Amino acid sequence: MKDSPAIIILGQNSLPLARQLTTALPGAKLYGLSERTTGVDVSFTNFGDTLRELFAAGTPIIGICAAGILIRTLAPMLTDKRQEPPVLAVAEDGSAVVPLLGGLHGVNEMARQIATVLGVEAAITTTGDIRFRTALLSPPKGYHLANPEDAKKFISDLLGGATVRVLGTASWLTEGNLPIKADGNLLIQVTEKSVELTGNCLVYHPATLALGISGVSGVSVGEAVDFIQEMLADAGLSKKAIAGVFSDDAQISNSIIQAIAQNFHVPARFFNNLEIKAGHDIIAQEAALTASGVASNLIASKVSPQITCCISISPEIINPETLGRSRGQLYIVGIGPGGQQWMSPQVKEILRNITDLVGYSTYLNLAGSLLPGQKRHDSDNREEIARARLALDLAATGRKVAVISSGDPGIYAMAAAVFEVLDQEANPKWDSIDIQVAPGISAVQAAAAQIGAPIGHDFCLISLSDILKPWSIIEKRITAAAEADFAIAFYNPVSKQRTWQLTKAREILLQYRSGDTPVVLARNVSRVGEEIKVRRLEELSEEEVDMRTLVLVGSSKTRIVPRKDGGVWVYTPRRYDIDG
């Protein structure tokens, strides 16, 4: 669950109230409906999508609006109350604070904080059992409740006057206001052991076990996981008490170790020079002990020719995020042509989870605002290679980095630049990075969608920029494409320095195609200032075209269909027997 809330406003007159709320909620971000608010941290156009995305990401939501619209908007997503972030409605005049969802994640506490700032009473609607419930059903980080299904009855028994005995140590339990008695009739157990679950005992597994792994060779993920499960079973340990998977730095790109960590839903972390310190045979053991700290003990191990695993136990909760380093991630991301509605959910998810954002400033702005803790690395549009190197270097230190392109990252954009640098420079530092390319809607698709279906049949893309390739090649491609009767999308058609190329392209095309061929000039598609014009090939002029324009030239079959509203559709039929 993320901690920094989003305060949502739908009109400018809610801004002062929203600002007042931030005093109770440090780190909160102001989200404002774009056409009705200014001076907010994040502007959004679609209320429903924005709200649902925040909710899905676990962000606490404070809507300065009617409770009803929050409920209706989130209704389809209300499936598991244990996963719900706090959601509150605050009346526009600050007269009411109503906690709606997220009872297990502190919505009532949040409502009280806000109410205090506003000088009103929070409209708490849950009964007095909330104090036990919050503690028991959503234990602090590092503790896992093994039997949440038993908790409801357990809590009502407590409220009915039962007392509880606590076995094991956890200060959050003993320092709370539970009716603890040495001879209590209910039981709470805090243990790394796997225990049989019964209704009158709540079991919490503390994240005190470090799983060290080494000597991985010729084993599948399934076999490795089974092997570890057996080791745990033999030692009577619960897998829910594993805090992390640990190994030597040299193993950082070992995909089996990464997959094991994923299987147990914990991070994989790697320590420097364990092999040198410990010797080859006991790397797993050394990794586990390094993670669990000075006062720890080795409590299980299992060795085969294919994998060595060890478990050590710490007297404290282990926080893996502070130990060694993780494998770096590099996401090469396409944010689409501009508007949020044309950015894929996968990309949005990636952008929520990264630590660093690398890209050309204009695209970084389009990608949306940063979350707390995220770092932005702006660069000039021309420095693609330097940008790729920077992204790789950052990821090599274990950070989660996204390098951003507009449209699709694989089309005249950063993906090829990153792979070019990887290929040409082959820096061993980069070997451990996990690289993922996340596609986006390219300018040609966006432009086509706005005008109909101009690429409904065979088409090709040609960049008119002769910075990275000689003009002679471009000319050859235009000629071949014209001859082959492709519809052609010209990327980078004109820039301040390059003006004659488009005119030259038109001349070549006119040797093969009629002057009446439809041409679409799509400028700033799905961005502010979008403009779509349809011209005839004969009229195509660089005067009407710039770097923010995609030029789409039809094939001999491309047709114009008048629209009732006075505009036109442009489409290219899928068949060759329709008359042009």
Binding site for ligand SAH (CB under 6 A): 337-338, 405-408, 411-413, 442-443, 491-493, 522-527, 547-550
- Torsion, Cα 194 223 324 253, to 10 degrees, reads -160
Least distance in angstroms from the C-beta of 480 to ligand SAH: 21
- Nearer to ligand SAH among residue 214 and residue 549 (C-beta): 549
For residue 308, what are the contacts with CB-CB under 8 A and spacing of at least 6? 213, 214, 215, 283, 284, 301, 302
Helix (H, G, I), strand (E, B) or coil at 293: coil
Q: Which is nearer to ligand SAH, 205 or 523 (CB)?
A: 523
Residue at shortest CB range from ligand SAH: 407
Inter-residue contact 27 to 39 (CB < 8 Å):
no
Q: Which is nearer to ligand SAH, 308 or 549 (CB)?
A: 549
- Contact between 157 and 186 (Cβ < 8 Å): yes
Nearer to ligand SAH, 110 or 525 (CB): 525
Chain centroid to CA 241:
27
Of 284 and 403, which has the nearer Cβ to ligand SAH? 403
Backbone φ and ψ of 399, nearest 5°? -85, 165
CB of 545 to ligand SAH, least distance (A): 9
Least distance (Å) from ligand SAH to the CB of residue 277?
47
In degrees and rounded to multiples of 5, residue 306 shows phi and psi of -100, -15
- Compute the distance between CA of residue 502 and CA of residue 506 in angstroms, rounded to an integer: 6
Sign of CA dihedral 287, 288, 293, 295: negative
Q: 């049949």: which residue's tokens?
A: 457
Dmax over Cα atoms in the chain, in whole Å? 96
Per DSSP, the three-state class of 214 is strand
Q: Closer to ligand SAH at the Cβ: 9 or 494? A: 494
- Smallest separation (angstroms) from ligand SAH to the CB of 336: 8
> Least distance (Å) from ligand SAH to the CB of residue 527?
5
| Closer residue to ligand SAH, CB minimum distance, 287 or 550 | 550
Residue 437: partners with Cβ closer than 8 Å, 6 or more residues away: 331, 332, 409, 410, 415
Mode of pairing for the β-strands spanning 400-405 and 329-334: parallel
Residue 23 has which token pair?
Answer: 């005093």
Rounded least distance, CB 44 to ligand SAH, Å: 19
Instruction: Give one DSSP letter per residue of 549-577, joined into a string.
Output: EEEEE--TT-EEEE-TTS-EEEE--S-SS
Question: What phi and psi values does residue 95 have, to the nearest 5 degrees?
Answer: -85, -15
As measured in angstroms, the least distance from the Cβ of 151 to ligand SAH is 50
Q: How far is the CB of 523 from ligand SAH (least distance, A)?
A: 6
Give me the residues paired with residue 33 across strands. Answer: 44
Specify the DSSP class assigned to residue 369: P
Specify the residue, 87 or 521, whose C-beta has the smaller distance to ligand SAH. Answer: 521
**Comparison of 241 and 332: residue with beta carbon closer to ligand SAH:** 332
Q: How far is the CB of 116 from ligand SAH (least distance, A)?
A: 46
Nearer to ligand SAH, 525 or 540 (CB): 525
Quote the least distance from Cβ 487 to ligand SAH, whole Å. 15
Nearest to 471 by CA among 462, 484, 461: 462
